[in-house]
Structure formats: structure tokens, C-alpha cells
């Protein structure tokens, strides 16, 4: 449950300016955990392109994204990405919280939201990866019931280098896939 004054809403094209402002505000905070970004990523036009791409993925059923708001500022996001149907019925989770809004339970609330969305979409499992050094995110995953299930050396190219990641998994149900 989100604290008072916060709301998670589905991503829209109108979010581009607020997302650009959040990207600029959180550049140093998020840099260690993200790929190197082109300068255009931090502009309204660049965010408009990112949002358009994500919304196309939403239409294809490959992505589900929500934006965390506090007043008129974007202060985070929560995404189900790489949604796979068929025998897997799974997705990966991704989330971030603005550096000025940490330690308020927002990451846990965002991840709980993603688990609820996954149930609504009929998914069977969720996966997550964190860099070994991202201990706070590992704590969020564990608090939300995810279990560590492995380690992959040089898994993602983040902050200019190949990084080893810890993998986490959450099984949502044991039933057969929904038709």
C-alpha cells in the first residue's frame, strides 16, 4: 500500500516531461544500476520516444508499466517487462524510486503492485535481477517473497561495464495457464 500523497498510474505519453525531469533529478542516483544513456534520454523528446516504444510493447502484451507520482512529480516507476506467454507465463520486474523519496516503503509498494498486476494478467512467475552491490533492492525483493535462485557473471552491461547479477524468482500459483 502506498503512503498518502503517492499514486501509481499507467504510463501515458503525457508523462514524458515529468519523466525527463525525474531522469535528470536522479541521474547520479540511478547511474550505477542502469545502462549508459544518451543525452537525449534526459529530454522531454527523448522520453517521449521511450514512452512511445514502451506503449507499443504494452499493446503487444509484452510490457506493463506504471509511473509513481507524488503531486505533479514522477518519483518512480514499476514495470513488468519481457512478458512471455505459452508454457512460461512469466515476466521480469523492474522498479526504481527517486532519491528524495527513499525509505518510505515505496519500492515495496511498487513491487507489491507488480505482483498484483501479474496475478491479474494470469502470469505464473516473476523474475528479477540485481547487481550484487544493490543490497537495498535485494531486501525489497525478499520482503515481497522473492527467493534468490542464482548468480550470473557478466549478465548486464550497466554503468559502462559488464556486471554480475543475482537472480530472484517468485512463483505466483501452481495452477495451469489460463486460456
Determine what percent of the chain is predicted with pLDDT higher than 90: 96
Per-residue pLDDT of 127-164, as tens digits, reads 999 999 999 999 999 999 999 999 999 999 999 999 99
Using the predicted structure, report yes or no on whether residue 177 has a pLDDT greater than 90: no
pTM: 0.94
Specify whether the CB–CB gap between 89 and 20 falls below 8 A: no
- Identify the pLDDT of residue 14: 98
Helix (H) or strand (E) holding 171: strand 161-171
- Identify the pLDDT of residue 156: 95
Using the predicted structure, report yes or no on whether residue 117 has a pLDDT greater than 80: yes
Per-residue pLDDT of 76-110, as tens digits, reads 999 999 999 999 999 999 999 999 999 999 999 99
User: How confident is the prediction for the chain on average, in pLDDT?
Assistant: 97
Distance CA 47, CA 44 (A): 5
Distance CA 28, CA 136 (A): 16
Domains of the chain: 6-128 (3.40.630.30)
Strand ranges inside 5-116, DSSP E: 6-10, 64-70, 73-84, 90-97
- Identify the pLDDT of residue 69: 98
Distance CA 161, CA 98 (A): 23
Amino acid at each position: 500500500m502506498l503512503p498518502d500523497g503517492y499514486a501509481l498510474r499507467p504510463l501515458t505519453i503525457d508523462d514524458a516531461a515529468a519523466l525527463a525531469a525525474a531522469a535528470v533529478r536522479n541521474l547520479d542516483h540511478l547511474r550505477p544500476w542502469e545502462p549508459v544513456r544518451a543525452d537525449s534520454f534526459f529530454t522531454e523528446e527523448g522520453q517521449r520516444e521511450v514512452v512511445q516504444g514502451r506503449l507499443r510493447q504494452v499493446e503487444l502484451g509484452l510490457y506493463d508499466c506504471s509511473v509513481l507520482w507524488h503531486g505533479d512529480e514522477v518519483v518512480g516507476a514499476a514495470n513488468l517487462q519481457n512478458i512471455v506467454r505459452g508454457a512460461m507465463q512469466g515476466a521480469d520486474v523492474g522498479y526504481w524510486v527517486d532519491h528524495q523519496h527513499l525509505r518510505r516503503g515505496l519500492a515495496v509498494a511498487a513491487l507489491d503492485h507488480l505482483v498484483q498486476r501479474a496475478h491479474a494478467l494470469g502470469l505464473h512467475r516473476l523474475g528479477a535481477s540485481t547487481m550484487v552491490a544493490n543490497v537495498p533492492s535485494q531486501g525489497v525483493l525478499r520482503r515481497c517473497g522473492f527467493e534468490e535462485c542464482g548468480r550470473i557473471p557478466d549478465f548486464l552491461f550497466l554503468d559502462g561495464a559488464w556486471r554480475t547479477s543475482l537472480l530472484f524468482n517468485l512463483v505466483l500459483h501452481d495452477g495451469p495457464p489460463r486460456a
